[in-house]
A and B are shown apart, each in its own frame.
Chain A
Amino acid sequence: MLSRVAESIFWMARYIERAENTARFVEVTLNLVLDQPMGVDQPWRPLINATGDDAAFDKSYRVADAESVTRFLAFDKTYPNSVIRTLRSARENARSVRESLSSEAFEQINTLYHFVDAAARAGSQPDSATEFFDVIRHHCHLLTGILDATMSHDQAWQFANMGRLLERADKTSRILDVKYFTLLPSVDSVGTALDDLQWSSLLFSISGFEAYRRHHHMIRSESVVDFFLLHPEFPRSVLFCIENIQSSLAAIRGKSTDRRHKKPASQVTAVLKRLHTTTAKDILAFGLHQFVDSLQGDMNRIGDRISETYFR
């Protein structure tokens, strides 16, 4: 397939995944606030921390509260990673490669964009903010399903899959990194209702609450770290994402013996080896933040290798 098209599809999927994660983070936080007793610190600042875009936020907003953070993350057209901007980028990418997508997939991206754009144009906060973000999330899931069910699982699909997984792994590791430190002081003490609530919301933010319960029952910091980073079956864990990137790379390589396919594949193999030989205990001993930081460097390098090999 055309290199330009491969790149656009990869980024289209990345942007959609980014929008979905942002929508979910905001939705989970809105729900958490509803359950929180008065006087407890509001959990909005960590959401900005998780984006890594604190400077952009502080330039335009004075305090981090429900209103300002929702506006910034969802509707701010000057902020490139807001939901509206990432969806616009996704749609621009989709438009430029429309003929390589199924018609259903393009229509779904178009519908989603218009849904959020209409809300952004309306200016006021949506009547039910949680429901609004819930609908965005559903639209994104629908797109993933449409891509899965209406496109050949050919190279185009594999590039979309890699874009989605790389973005997802990045977001999963970021939210763990940021929230872990705001929650940590209370976790070693006896679990009160509040702790449970906060940790549950962290699990909700990767749609992992139910899956976690099934595996671990009790919320413990080590198990949470294991679940986010090293779980082999949960589709938002970093390990799961990277393993599936490996499968997509193998599918793209096919039967080709061309040596150029080696570069991204060997980078992925190196990261997987590291994840397979590490335990949550090791990670906590090493320092979670340091570990996540270097993991994100590794993932950026996977993206770079894919780009050098296939998009140039």
Chain B
Amino acid sequence: MSVSQTSISFEGYAPGNFFDELIEASGHPRPDAAPLVDAINRLPDGDLIRRQAAIERSLHRMGITFAVYGDTSGTEKIFPFDIVPRVVGCMMWRHIEAGLKQRIKALNLFIDDVYNAKEILREGIVPRDLVEQASTYLQPCVGLKPPGGIWCHITGTDLIRDADGAVFVLEDNLRCPSGVSYVLQNRAVMKRNFPQVFATCKVRPVSNYPSRLYEMLRELAADRVSDPTVVVLTPGMYNSAYYEHSFLAHQMGVELVEGRDLVVKDGFVYMRTTEGPQRVDVIYRRVDDTFLDPKVFRSDSVLGVAGLMDAYRRGNVALANAPGTGVADDKVVYVYVPDMIRFYLNEEPILPNVPTYICQRPEDQKYVLAHLDELVVKPAGESGGYGMLIGPHSTAEQRAEFAEKIRQDPRNFIAQPTLSLSRMPTIIDGELHGRHVDLRPYILHGISDTWVLPGGLTRVALRAGSLVVNSSQGGGSKDTWVAAEPGHGEVDTHADA
């Protein structure tokens, strides 16, 4: 193969008019990325490509794949992986970590408030209609008091950086955020296939995520049961994130159950085992809210468990995340998160939102309709990058279609300026090219502790110029290296891979 003889280096790589995560405008590596860039430049000819190919083979062998909805052939694809890791400096990480902790604290107070006292609505800080009429506002959750007052235990917040490198929150993902298994597997394959470079850079480890997750889940029932049984609830193997459900259950050493494995009797939840029924105390559920219990939500759901909400309401089982968190995940409610931080915490937001136009506001709508070719328009309730309009890349026809949709249902649309997302050197056809990235860190918000996994999923839009990083839309991923604090001992080494 001729390509294997190609030498890859950063010489000749130009960041252009973008903020590049590894290379400064001058063409020099950023200080935190210098050891990595030097190590790659010193690799023998063809070495990087060869390692990239080895990693792809091992991902395929391990069956780390996802199913694509709408693809009837049933083929599984590996989530494309790029070997050049992102490096996040320790000062930048401190900033991100503090901002995420602040944000999840305020969001939890908000969810608890809107299902109970409703102070923020009474004060008029968030419009009452917006919350109470949202399809994600679940009546059966009104008045609920989850253990420790925590609704949202597991979050994967989408962050982006603009042309100046400033960090913004793009989406909060408070329902069933996925992708953390890729973070762990990406790190594992990097350690196996690229140990030398790893050794020269001091990187904080990510492998303790499953044990952190388990402890956090266990704690939710600790006041009721001395040795709680924790399970992961999956919609089943045809769900696109099934691999992750299975991976997390495996890593935590708990059962992966489907709705049909569970049964509710006398207000308690049991799983059907070869030894007969066994009590379940904590459910990390990866089934959407409205599918959880056909008695309370969608009666046609076969993924859930009849009577589950009753058991939950009686406090006999803990659910993570609690049902009802979607109300804070609405893209219109998102606009108010900075106000929530000020209201509940009396602090200024550390991480800003992306400026957002609310199509329901007449003046905003007018602006949006007049500037569709510059803006990104998103439906308020969707996730996964579905149903978006990217103005600068759209046709006149698509814009006309969206203008009509916005006029028909303004509540369901928001618009944001097309940000010039930061880029990363990425291997494309045997050469390094700049590609846009985002970052999804994962936050565990438990009763006694809030913890941010140092790193997260860096998603990369592999198509030239594309800003859409979702795996369902042709995105890939990279390992994310958070540089260790100077003098700190906790460093990932290839020895423990």
Contact = CB atoms under 8 A, between A and B. Distances in A.
Interface in B77-105: none
A97 B260 CA distance: 14
Contacts of B60: 114
B250 A92 contact: no
Secondary structure at the A interface, as helix, strand, loop or mixed, is helix
Contact of B271 (A2, A6, A155): A2
Interface residues of A, number: 24
Query: A99, A258, A310 — which one has the most chain B CB atoms within 10 A of its CB?
Result: A99
Contact of B273 (A1, A96, A98, A258): A1
B274 A1 contact: yes
A99 B246 contact: yes
A252 interface: yes
Contacts of B246: 95, 98-99
A258 B276 contact: yes
Given A2-B261, A6-B274, A310-B274, A99 B249 contact: yes
Interface stretch (B251-259, B284-292, B308-316, B378-386): B251-259
A243 interface: no
Contacts, number: 57
B274 A3 contact: yes
A5 B255 CA distance: 9
Interface in A1-59: 1-6
Contact of A95 (B237, B255, B274): B237
A113 to B, nearest CB: 9
A42 to B, nearest CB: 37
A106 interface: yes
B275 interface: yes
A96 B257 CA distance: 10
A266 interface: no
A2 B62 contact: no
Contacts of A2: 255, 257, 261, 271-274
A55 to B, nearest CB: 28
Given A2-B255, A3-B261, A99-B256, A111 B274 contact: no
B436 to A, nearest CB: 32
B61 interface: yes
B74 to A, nearest CB: 10
A74 to B, nearest CB: 21
Interface in B414-449: none
Interface string A228-252: 0000000000000000000000001
B273 A92 contact: no
Interface in A67-119: 92, 95-100, 103, 106-107, 110-111, 114
Nearest to B236: A96
B63 interface: yes
Contacts of B261: 2-4
A117 to B, nearest CB: 11
Interface string B57-70: 00011110000000
Contacts of B63: 95, 98, 106-107, 110
A111 B61 contact: yes
Contact of A3 (B242, B243, B272): B272
Given A3-B274, A5-B255, A110-B62, 6 more contacts: A2-B261, A3-B272, A92-B237, A96-B237, A98-B246, A106-B62
Interface of B: 60-63, 236-237, 242-243, 246-247, 249-250, 255-258, 260-261, 271-276
30 contacts: A1-B255, A2-B255, A2-B257, A2-B261, A2-B271, A2-B272, A2-B273, A3-B272, A3-B273, A5-B255, A6-B274, A92-B237, A95-B63, A95-B237, A96-B236, A98-B63, A98-B250, A99-B246, A99-B247, A99-B249, A99-B256, A100-B256, A103-B250, A106-B63, A107-B61, A107-B62, A110-B61, A111-B61, A252-B274, A256-B275
For the complex of A and B, list the 3 residue pairs with the smallest distance between their C-beta atoms, beginning with the closest. Answer: A99-B250, A99-B249, A98-B246
